[in-house]
Each structure stands twice: as C-alpha cells, then as structure tokens.
Amino acid sequence: MRDLLLFVNNFYVIARFVRQVFVFLCLLLMLLGLALAWAEDWTLGDAAYFTLITGLTVGYGDITPVTTLGRIASVASAIVGVGATGLYVAIASKAVATAIRGQRPRRDTKIADADVD
C-alpha cells in the first residue's frame, strides 16, 4: 500500500509540471470534436465519442467522417490524442521509476532542475 501511495503522490507532483500542456491538448481535442459535430452534422455526443475513440487510437469504425473537413479533424484528433496519451504514459513511467527508488520529487523543483532519466 505504501508503494501505491508513493506512486500516486509522485504522479501528482510530476503531472503538475506539465498540466498546462495536458489541459491544452484536451481543449484542442474538444475543439476538434466541435468541428466534427459541425462538419459532419453529428450530435455533440457522437462527436465527443468519435473524438475520444480516435484520440485514444482505438478506432471502432462505427462512425466515420465523410466530409473533407471531418476527415482532417479526425486525423488531427488522432495526432493530438497520441501526444496526450504519450504524455500520460511518460508521467506514469517517471512516477513508477521514482517510486521504485523510494523517492519523492521535490515540489519546489523547476522543470529544468527536475531529475529527468
């Protein structure tokens, strides 16, 4: 249990360094979802579902864009989603590595001074 708490704490501290980037990527995905809803004449729910499935690179194929703008937005959603997923995985990897060493990142450390493996 101690290791889990250490991981969660490390994840939170490390995520604080890049929260603006992650928020920006999420906002960009929401804007792409709105563009899809407008271009494809979909409901907001369908557009959000499609954007999430595309951003996570699952791609069920049950909903597909037919307009050029919709296709461009779906490709952009996939690219932004891969970036957001990669960022999340990088944070988790760093938190695991730090927890294995039994350390806690300092909260007052600037990103340039942080221990980057």
pLDDT at 37 over 70: yes
First to last CA, the chain: 25
For the CA atoms of 44, 49, 77, 89, the dihedral, rounded to the nearest 10 degrees, stands at 140
Residue 60 burial class via C-beta count within 10 angstroms: exposed 0-12, middle 13-18, buried 19 and up: exposed
Write out the two tokens for 13.
């501290």
The reply to whether the predicted model has a pTM over 0.85 is no
| Per-residue pLDDT reduced to its tens digit, 102-115 | 766 666 655 545 55
pLDDT at 3 over 70: yes
Is 37 in contact with 44 (CB distance < 8 Å)? Answer: yes
Write out the two tokens for 34.
């709105």
| Per-residue pLDDT reduced to its tens digit, 56-94 | 889 898 999 999 999 999 999 999 999 999 999 999 999
* C-alpha angle 96-102-98 in degrees, rounded to nearest 5: 30
